Structure 1
Amino acid sequence: MTQHHAPDAHLPMLTVPQAARLRDLTATYFFTRHGVRMAVEGDAVEHDGHFSPLTALAQRCRAEAEERWPEMVEQHFTRLESASRGGENAQELLRQTRLRLLPADALPSDGFRYTRPVAEGLVLALALDAPTSIRILNDGDVARADQDELWAAGRANLLGEPVEHEDVRTPSGALLHSVRGESHFVASKALVLPELVRTVTGQELPAAGALVAVPTRHLLAFHPIVDGTVVDAVNDLGAYALGAYEDGPGSLTPRLYWWHQGQLVCLTVFDHESRSLSVVPPRELMDLMKSLHGRNDAGRAAPEVSGGTEVDHLAHAVAEFTERLTQDPGLFGAAFETALDHAHARCADDPDAGKLETWEAWVTAMQTGSALFATALAPQGTVECRIGDRVLALPVSGPAAHADARAWLDAFWLALVCRERDRLTRLCRVPLDDLRRARTADPYDDYVFHWIDTLQSYWLQQPMDDIVPKLLATMETSHPHVATRTPSEFLNLVDYQPVALFHRLITNDHEAFAQALTEALAHHERYWDGSSRPRGRVALGPLAMACLAHDGNFPVDTTLPYLPTHFISRAWCGEFPT
Structure 2
Amino acid sequence: MGIFKRKSPEAETADSDLTFFTHSKADEFRAIAREVFAEMGLEVQVHPGHAVDDSGREFGFWNVGAICYEQPQSAWRGVIGEHLQRVLASFDAPDPFDVLAPQDVARLTFARLYDEASIPGIDGYPHRELAPGIVEMLALDLPDTVAVFNHDNAKKFGGWEALQRQGIDNLRELETERPKTLPAPGGGTFNVLLGESVYTASRALLLPDLATELTGQRVREEFGWLMSVPNRHQVVWHVIEDAAVVSALNGMARFTAMGYADAPGSVSPHIFWWNGTSYEQLTHVREDGSLTLRVSPGFQAVLNSITANR
Q: Distance in 2 between matches of 1:291 and 1:179?
A: 29
Distance apart, 1:81 and its partner CA: 4.8
- Asked whether 1:203 is paired with 2:217, we answer yes
Match of 1:227 in 2: 242
- Equivalence for 1:218: 233
The amino acid that maps onto 1:42 is P
- 1:19 positional shift: 1.5
Counterparts of 1:197 and 1:44, CA distance in 2: 38
State yes or no: 1:158 paired with 2:161: no
Alpha-carbon spacing, 1:94–1:54, altered in 2? closer, same or farther (3 Å): same
Alignment of 1:489-508 (within 5 A): none
Aligned to 1:20: 27
Match 2:293 to one of 275, 279, 283: 279
1:457-468 pair list within 5 angstroms: none
Indicate whether 1:54 and 2:61 are aligned.
yes
Q: Distance in 1 between matches of 2:59 and 2:291?
A: 27
Separation in 1, partners of 2:229, 2:43:
36
CA contact (8 A) 1:256 1:279 kept: no
SS class of match (1:226): coil
1:109 aligns with 2:115: no
Deviation at residue 247 of structure 1 after TM alignment: 0.8
- Classify 1:67/1:275 alpha carbon distance in 2 versus 1 (closer, same or farther; 3 Å): same
Q: Which amino acid aligns with 2:49?
A: D
How do 1:407-418 and structure 2 match up within 5 A? none
Q: CA RMSD in A?
A: 2.7
Structure with more helix by fraction: 1
Q: Aligned residue for 1:183?
A: 197
SS in 2 for 1:27: helix
Structure-2 change in CA distance of 1:17 and 1:188 (3 Å): same
Mapped partners of 1:169, 1:102: distance in 2: 28
1:288: how far off?
A: 0.5
- Other-structure match for 1:132: 144
> CA offset at residue 262 of structure 1?
4.9
Counterpart-to-counterpart distance in 2, 1:157 and 1:141: 18
CA contact (8 A) 2:126 2:149 kept: no
Residue 173 of structure 1 is aligned with which of 182, 187, 190? Answer: 187
Aligned-partner Cα distance in 1 for 2:72–2:232: 24
Shift of 1:224: 0.5
User: Aligned residue pairs: how many?
Assistant: 293
* Matches of 1:127 and 1:165, distance apart in 2: 24
The structure-2 alpha-carbon separation of the partners of 1:8 and 1:240, relative to structure 1 and needing over 3 Å to count, comes to same
Distance 1:136 1:82, change over 3 A: farther
Q: Aligned runs of 1:47-446 on 2, under 5 Å?
A: 53-81=60-88, 85-86=95-96, 87=98, 88-109=100-121, 112-147=124-159, 148-162=161-175, 163-207=177-221, 208-271=223-286, 273-293=287-307, 295=308, 320=310
**One-letter identity of the residue aligned with 1:38:** V
User: Structure 2 counterpart of 1:106, which letter?
Assistant: S
Normalized against structure 2, the TM-score is what?
0.84
Deviation of 1:79 after TM superposition, in Å, equals 4.2
Deviation at 1:237, TM superposition (A): 0.8
| Shift of residue 58, structure 1, vs aligned partner | 3.1
Rounded Cα–Cα distance in structure 1 between residues aligned with 2:263 and 2:304: 34
Change (3 A) 1:46 1:117: farther
Unpaired segments ≥5 residues, structure 2: 1-7
CA deviation vs aligned residue, 1:495-521 (integer Å, no higher than 9, x gap)? xxxxxxxxxxxxxxxxxxxxxxxxxxx
Displacement of 1:281 in angstroms is 2.5
Deviation at 1:204, TM superposition (A): 2.8
Superimposed CA distance per residue, residues 523-566 of structure 1 (whole angstroms, 9 cap, x where no aligned partner) = xxxxxxxxxxxxxxxxxxxxxxxxxxxxxxxxxxxxxxxxxxxx
Distance 2:111 2:87 in 1: 20
Q: Distance in 1 between matches of 2:257 and 2:122?
A: 30
Q: Which residue of 2 aligns with 1:43?
A: 49
The C-alpha deviation readout for 1:277-330, integer Å capped at 9, x for no partner, is 32213111111112213x46xxxxxxxxxxxxxxxxxxxxxxx5xxxxxxxxxx
Residues 118 and 46 from structure 1, CA distance in 2 versus in 1: closer, same or farther, beyond 3 angstroms? farther
Partners in 2 of 1:278 and 1:6 — Cα distance? Answer: 17
- Could you say which structure has the higher strand fraction? 2
**Which residue identity does 2:291 align to in structure 1?**
L
What is the SS of the residue equivalent to 1:278? strand
* Residues 6 and 234 of structure 1: CA distance in aligned 2, closer, same or farther (over 3 Å): closer
SS in 2 for 1:39: strand
Relative to 1, partners in 2 of residues 1:62 and 1:113: Cα closer, same or farther, differing over 3 Å? closer
255-264 or 122-131: bigger deviation: 255-264
Q: Give the Cα–Cα distance (whole angstroms) in 2 for the partners of residues 236 and 189 of structure 1.
A: 21
Q: Tell me: higher relative CO, structure 1 or 2? Use CA pairs within 8 A at least 6 residues apart.
A: 2
CA drift of 1:238 comes to 1.3
Q: CA deviation at 1:160?
A: 1.7
Shift of residue 206 of structure 1? 3.0
CA apart distance, 1:201: 1.1
CA distance in 1, matches of 2:208, 2:12: 43
Shift of 1:170: 1.9
Identify if the C-alpha distance between structure 1 residues 144 and 217 changes in structure 2 by more than 3 Å, giving closer, same or farther: same
Q: Which residue of 1 aligns with 2:5?
A: none
The answer for the alignment partner of 1:443 in structure 2 is none
Question: Structure 1 residues 171, 41: CA separation in 2 closer, same or farther (over 3 Å shift)?
Answer: same
Report the alpha carbon displacement of residue 62 of structure 1 after superposing the two structures with TM: 3.1
Q: Which SS does the other structure have where 1:246 is aligned?
A: helix
| Cα pair 2:30 2:46 within 8 Å, conserved | yes
Identity in percent: 26
Instruction: Give the distance between the partners of 1:46 and 1:213, measured in 2 at CA.
Output: 34
Q: Secondary structure at the match of 1:287?
A: helix
How far does the alpha carbon of each residue in 1:474-515 deviate from its partner, in whole angstroms, 9 at most, with x for none? xxxxxxxxxxxxxxxxxxxxxxxxxxxxxxxxxxxxxxxxxx
Q: CA deviation at 1:46?
A: 5.0
TM-score, normalization by structure 1: 0.47
Distance in 1 of aligned mates of 2:274 and 2:229: 12
- Amino acid in structure 1 at the alignment position of 2:119: L
Maintained 8 Å contact 2:125/2:149: no
